[in-house]
A = this chain, B = another copy of it.
Amino acid sequence: MSGDVRRQPAEKPSTPVVAPTSPAVPERMATMMDVAKLAGVSHQTVSRVLNDQAKVSPQTRTRVLDAMRQLDYQPNSAARALVTRRSKTLGLVTFDTTLFGPASMVYGIEQAARDAGYFVSIASIRTLSRRAVLDAIGQLRLQSVEGIVAIVPKDSAVVALSAVPPGIALVGVGVGGGADVPMVGVDNVVGAALATRHLLSLGHKTVHHISGPPGWPEARERATGWREALTAYAAPAPPVLVGDWSARSGYLAAQRLAGDPTVTAVFCANDQMALGALRALHEVGRRVPADVSVVGFDDVPEGPYLIPPLTTVQQDFAEVGRRSLALLMEQIATGARPHRQIHLTPQLKVRDSSARAVA
């Protein structure tokens, strides 16, 4: 049972926002008919000019174009969508756009969509719950989007993607390989392994890991990459400290490591946590990188200006956006939803926070 077709009422914002009850009469815009009349042609000819179909004589085309300009004519997208059954709109479901990762992807996707002639309608969600994702999808369906890009990098949210009817193209971003939806994402296993091997190759006996929270594919994958690299180097795998992506959690986790003098290298699952870790180490007087090396993941713009500049794993978010869009367009064109998974290879950015282990 999918419940209500209609929308939820407002929760109650501190500034009550209400939709206008008595909308001002929208002034009539010029229609295709008006343009046709002014240009002395039929509306169909106007339509032909608009859609650049060949069979229009140059002088007619000019006359029509002039008329359009004169009337400031804007084609009515609703009418067009009604008859063509294509909205030229993509939906974007995204979690907390305030975070660097999602924000960058939104940006990348939006740019790519625009280049492809698509509009982008956004539905950001407060929590990565199944319910929230379903609501967002419902809202986007109401707008008859042709496709949906879902940036919902948490298991509980990913499962909700199966609710997207097959008629709508779908791409999951950063949703991990487990989901049975087409997806695009950075290869987190490789990225984490890159970071870990980098530290091991600097002579560290082992590498500690501050991971992302449980239930996040990216957290899991990064932990996997870390573990694999340790195994490859036959290094012992210390217990994972679980964070929640926030600087605060990195700080707290690192406080627990900071007291242990055998800890010389820490790989954090994102840059925010690494930032927190830097602070925790600094507080107890452990120097980075002299005493402890720290590596992050994401490459936030501030990375080079942290104390010290952060070694991290760089993801090409713009490319993720483009790939997602390409995958979506492919689905729209073919009408099928191939079980395709695209993994982008991240790069290690070595800065000052990682250094050779002291003997």
Knowing A24-B334, A98-B104, A144-B77, the reply to whether A19 touches B307 (Cβ < 8 A) is no
Interface string of A219-240 (1 = CB under 8 A from B): 0000000000000000000000
Q: Are A15 and B75 in contact (CB under 8 A)?
A: no
Chain B residues within 8 Å of A333, by CB: 20-24
A15→B316 CA distance, assembly (Å): 12
Interface residues of A in 83-101 (CB under 8 A from B): 85-87, 89, 92, 96-98, 100
The reply to whether the CB of A178 lies closer than 8 angstroms to some CB of chain B is no
Determine, out of A112-120, A207-215, A260-268, A289-297, the stretch whose residues face the partner at the interface.
A112-120
CB neighbours of A301 from chain B (8 A): 7, 98, 246-247, 272
- CB-CB under 8 A from A251, the residues of chain B are 305
Is A43 located at the chain interface by the 8 A CB criterion?
no
- On whether the beta carbons of A143 and B329 are closer than 8 Å, the reply is no
Contact with B along A1-30 (1 / 0, CB 8 A): 110011101110111111111111111010
Chain A interface residue count, Cβ-Cβ cutoff 8 angstroms: 104
**Is B307 within 8 A of A282, CB to CB?**
yes
Question: Is A275 in the interface zone, CB < 8 Å from B?
Answer: yes
**A160 in the interface, Cβ–Cβ < 8 Å?**
no
- Shortest CB–CB separation between residue A184 and chain B, in angstroms? 10
- Asked if A26 and B98 make an inter-chain contact with CB atoms under 8 angstroms apart, the answer reads no
Query: Measuring CB to CB, which residues of chain A are less than 8 angstroms from any residue of chain B?
Result: 1-2, 5-7, 9-11, 13-27, 29, 50, 68-69, 72-79, 81-82, 85-87, 89, 92, 96-98, 100, 103-104, 106-107, 110-112, 114-124, 126, 139, 141-144, 146, 165, 167, 246-248, 250-251, 272, 275-276, 278-279, 282, 301-302, 304-307, 316, 318-319, 322-323, 325-326, 329-330, 332-336
Q: List 19 A-B contacts (CB under 8 A).
A: A7-B114, A10-B115, A13-B322, A19-B116, A19-B118, A20-B329, A24-B334, A24-B335, A26-B146, A29-B167, A74-B142, A78-B82, A79-B82, A98-B107, A121-B121, A250-B305, A275-B306, A279-B307, A307-B307
